[in-house]
Structure 1
């Protein structure tokens, strides 16, 4: 289903993007907002956890390689927050090796996407959530 279809526009979701690359996070949020989603960005792990508690997102796109609290730590912490135990957490990272994918699964991620990825793939994941 194309990203711009009316069915996708009607299925807006709460989306949180956590990435220390502010330009990448803010660009993805802008695109998702144009597609009708309630999207917000956080640029580090601690802010991401606070935003998740506040927003109660349907899906989180989370970078793995962030300074301080990395994406693995954020995902584990998010799974312990009341109301976020089943939120869909998707790794959005440049790391694509099998060991990283396994580590992400064990940290609580539901999916693993490698950068760059298409907005169509991102939108499919959001609509599924």
Structure 2
């Protein structure tokens, strides 16, 4: 197991955080930037889709419960575009029942993490 939130990541990633809770988004941003990653934050699904069209990200960390469209819709929209195939999409949700994980996988997410976000698990996913 990795020590929580210490040290630098092996490689710097460009990460998009899609989270409507501004305090939570700021916390995720700070934790990931401390690991040496470059982080952009948006608060709606529409902004997430637009951001992934305009910028190249390595990873998109997307809340499933967004105000304008759910994270599943965001994932399908991102995956349907030419650049979407190469992105790593990670669903973040307050729910982690088996059906939530299955729906996330079917929508195109590569992984699913439950809130509160386990930092060690996230860092392990990013290192893969």
TM-score, normalised to structure 2, is 0.90
- 1:56-95 mapped onto 2 (5 Å cutoff): 56-95=56-95
How many equivalent pairs are there? 126
CA RMSD of aligned residues (A): 1.4
Task: Tell me, yes or no, if the aligned pair for 2:92 and 2:112 is still in contact at 8 Å.
Answer: yes
Contact 1:79 1:85 in 2 (8 A): yes
The answer as to whether partners of 1:59 and 1:88 remain within 8 angstroms in 2 is yes
Structure-to-structure mapping, 1:23-38, within 5 angstroms: 23-38=23-38
Write the distance in 2 (CA, Å) between the matches of 1:20 and 1:117.
Answer: 15
Q: Distance in 2 between matches of 1:67 and 1:100?
A: 18
Structure 1: which 5+ residue stretches go unaligned?
A: none
> Any stretches of 5+ residues in structure 2 without a counterpart?
none
Distance apart, 1:118 and its partner CA: 2.2
Q: Contact 2:7–2:35 at 8 Å: present in 1 too? A: no
What's the CA shift for 1:111?
0.4
Say whether 1:20 aligns with 2:2: no
d(CA) in 1 for partners of 2:6 and 2:112?
24
Does 2:7 align with 1:5? yes
Given that 1:56 and 1:84 are in contact with CA atoms closer than 8 Å, whether structure 2 keeps it comes out as no
Distance 2:24 2:53 in 1: 22
By how many angstroms is 1:86 displaced? 2.6
Shift of 1:20: 1.0
SS of residue paired to 1:84: helix
C-alpha separation in 1, matches of 2:99 and 2:118: 23
Q: Secondary structure at the match of 2:113?
A: strand
Kindly report structure 1 stretches of 4+ aligned residues shifted beyond 3 Å: none
